Amino acid sequence: MDNKALEPDSVDIPMEETVVCSGGCLSLAQTQLQQEPSMWAHLNKVENQITDGQCFFHLPKRSAVDLEFIDVSYTIQEGLCWKKTGLKSLLQSLSGRFCSRELVGIMGPSGAGKTTLMNILAGYREKGTKGQILVNGKPRDRKTFRKMSCYIMQEDILLPHLTPREAMMVSANLKLDETLEVKKNLVDEILTALGLLDCAHTRTAALSGGQCKRLAIALELVNNPPVMFFDEPTSGLDSVSCYQVVSLMHSLALGGRTIICTIHQPSAKLFEMFDKLYILSQGQCIYKGSVPSLIPYMKTMGLCCPTYHNPADFIIEVASGEYGELNPVLFEAVQGGMCTLEHRRNLCAANSSMVGTMFLFYFISMICPIMYCSIVYWMTEQPPEASRYLLFIALSICTALVAQSLGLLVGAASTSLQVATFIGPVTAIPVLLFSGFFVNFNTIPNYLQWSSYVSYVRCVNLRNIHSHNYRWTDMKI
């Protein structure tokens, strides 16, 4: 297994996934405000404090972590301490891999072993456990792993008399060896990103359930753990708070972290936000893979999800035995690697689609300059020489490829669409400005003439305009 060098030091939170109630929870009020302005005139929209692409610049740098477990089993003693009646198996031969930058959901009916599996992965249970647990391909050191991971319980354990800012400062003072100014900046960044800035001076006892859950996440986020475990984070929350919490976990995963959570029965909207699923039934795995592959995989096993039915409800019903005793068949399918084969087949299809897209992209990048040059070359009455014509086409194709490559570079390096829209013109305008079309070379100040030499548009123009025996010193466009 290759070790990754990702550093989960930033979190991108899209604007539509903000945790402040300026989005979905006010949409109904906004609709009614338009219909009855006099009734709702006293309401003001809560301004959102989260900026697109919010980053944590003061978090400690931590390497990404991939977690893998092989043939993990867990048994307990049945009966009283003085009268043992035998062993009971809670988990049976579970294997899987949870990678960074992924939001993994462990699902299953009550008593399936979700929390037990997560406790074993987090290192809270060792007695009665068999199997291997690997961290970045190496055997897990329990003491080291506990320092690089955090576990957020189902019940939030918070100090009721402290405000979120005070609780964050206590956590920062205990976990970080930094200056007070750095700690304050970090606390402000986390409070802003998690939508807790408006209630930063409100006592914890007066916070809502969603705010308490986000505060619990913020307290663990202070030392930037690369692995985060959540035990049913949406329990007891309303639909809006559930969406806010799952959106936050998804954004944390995009920042380079490995996010693992148990979830009982999410809505269809929340279900689609998970990157990977690990579904348990009676202590065994019946599915592991991506969310889009779940329904096609179940269809190959003879289980068709009804139309307009929540896939999460459907798989829970299957795991509970409502569609018959099919769990042994699903267990054998997972053990036989059918989930892996299905995932690889989808991956191959995605790769084939990518190859086709790139081929079409470069084909268009070449055919368009050829069509343009074939028209312009003869309209401008250029010499009818095949070598000059082919050279003109080749230079035009190279110019198009260079320009598109720079565009792809800007798009890949930008954290959001808004950033790419700003950086793109900023990098393209100097190339065109110093190409010789708008400003003569002799009129450019000496300290800016170097910009003309790095303009690929100017180099192509020089080669097209001058004959083959030109000298660079004579080209002062």
Q: pLDDT by residue (tens digit) across 309-323? A: 888 888 888 888 776
* pLDDT single digits (tens) 405-432: 888 888 888 888 788 888 888 888 887 7
Q: Give, in order, the Cα–Cα distances in Å from 349 to each of 272, 289, 438.
A: 20, 16, 47
Amino acid identity of residue 403, one-letter, is A
Q: Give, in order, the Cα–Cα distances in Å from 391 to each of 43, 128, 299, 370, 385.
A: 67, 74, 56, 11, 10
Report the alpha-carbon angle 104-242-125, nearest 5: 45
* pLDDT single digits (tens) 67-85: 999 888 888 887 666 566 6
**Closest-CA residue to 162 (of 211, 194, 215, 202):** 202
Is the distance from CB of 135 to CB of 67 less than 8 angstroms? yes
Question: Can you state the angle between helices 209-221 and 239-254, rounded to 10 degrees?
Answer: 20
Helix spans in 123-231 (H): 142-147, 164-175, 180-193, 209-221
Q: Give, in order, the Cα–Cα distances in Å from 251 to each of 17, 55, 212, 424.
A: 9, 11, 18, 25
* pLDDT single digits (tens) 11-49: 444 333 333 333 333 333 344 434 444 433 333 333 333
Please report the pLDDT score of residue 4 as a whole number.
44
DSSP class of residue 47 equals: P
Query: To the nearest whole number, what is the mean pLDDT of the chain?
Result: 76
Domains in the chain: ranges and CATH: 97-124+137-336 (3.40.50.300), 372-469 (no CATH)
pTM higher than 0.75: no
Q: Average pLDDT for residues 442-447, to the nearest whole number?
A: 78
Lowest-pLDDT range of 114-118, 219-223, 225-229, 445-449: 445-449
Nearest-angstrom CA–CA distance, 65 and 413: 23
